[in-house]
Homo-oligomer: A and B are copies of this chain.
Amino acid sequence: MTHSIAVIPGDGIGTEVMPEGLRCVRRAAELFGIGLSFEEFDFASAAYWSKHGQMLPDNWFDTLKDFDALYFGAVGWPETVPDHVSLWGSLLQFRRGFDQYVSLRPVRLLPGVPAPLAGRVPGDIDFVVVRENTEGEYSDIGGRIFEGTDREAVVQQTVMTRTGVDRIVRYAYELAERRGKHLTSATKSNGISYSMPYWDERVAALGAAHPDVRVDKFHIDILSAHFVLHPDWFDVVVASNLFGDILSDLGPACTGTIGVAPSGNINPGGAHPSLFEPVHGSAPDIAGQGIANPVGQIWAGAMMLDHLGHADAAAAIVDAFERVLARGEVRTPDLGGTATCTELGREIAAAI
């Protein structure tokens, strides 16, 4: 049995870290006898947009829907196309179109990564952000009135549905059952009057089915503060689309660099392919220099293999980059070294 994988490198450092991700995924597949086939696509990039005036071909859904997984780099090149156009035209389409409603983002302090938080050591920080990935604050409903005048105003709608909230909260409870039986919910129900009180209500209601999971909730402002001051408090953190976005960059920053953080955009039923990508973006500021950290892309590759049923191969990749990082001989600049993206990728592949 061969798993078919669509490879979409995208923009900027996406195109630099992807080869290293593929290198490691291929190596692990070889060692564990996993059949993989890859097909690469040039859409979801500014270059594609420049040529076609859109980010994706019209038939993107049919083109991708039968793959077993999508392996994604990063998209966004504001010099060429505004971010909201490129993102709504590609990545956010995939997440919605393929109903990848769970964004799974592990946060772990790794050996060998300089910790920005004083006195924290590997083991202290080990949690997962479970982010709602299809609705909420990321909505394309809204508009502008009185354009160009002093009365100009924009409105932007947040939409949360019972279906959307319940399934992500349920997923988080179930994950908490399998981990430390502790769930933290991110809210802002003291300031935002409809959406967040509703979120709280559903978190409380669904808790009835999980009496052994300890639940707490924090408003997003103080929760962000606790990520810095008490990162050891967390096990599974469930959050709306926007709050999950923030927490899953902030969490990895507390572990030293967002360059190592992976993200699974999961369609749990398997009706559509899931998508695996690093948390970082296309990083125009360092693109083209070959100095991007490939670990986020490589770790995302491990999550992909895990999702495809190969937990052992996934674990081997994770073990390999942990050992390489712990040794600390080959480090990209964000880790305090001078190695290139390719050098670190090769080192990890060799260590699998």
Contact = CB atoms under 8 A, between A and B. Distances in A.
Interface of A: 76, 82-84, 86-88, 92, 114-119, 137-140, 142-144, 146, 149-163, 188-198, 219-222, 224-229, 241-242, 245-246, 248-250, 252-254, 257-258, 281
B229 A116 contact: yes
Contact of A154 (B155, B163, B198, B248): B198
A143 B160 CA distance: 11
A185 to B, nearest CB: 14
Contacts of A258: 222, 225
Contacts of A159: 153-155
A213 to B, nearest CB: 20
23 contacts: A76-B190, A83-B189, A83-B190, A83-B219, A84-B191, A84-B192, A92-B191, A116-B117, A117-B118, A140-B193, A142-B193, A144-B194, A153-B162, A154-B160, A156-B158, A156-B194, A156-B196, A220-B245, A222-B249, A224-B224, A224-B250, A228-B228, A246-B246
Contact of A195 (B86, B92, B156, B188): B156
Nearest to A162: B152
A257 B228 CA distance: 10
A163 B246 CA distance: 28
Nearest to A158: B156
Q: Looking at chain A's contact residues, is the secondary structure mostly helix, strand, loop, or mixed? A: mixed
Contact of A228 (B139, B190, B196, B250): B250
A219 B74 CA distance: 15
B224 A84 contact: no
A252 B225 contact: yes
Contact of A160 (B153, B253, B254): B153
Nearest to A193: B140
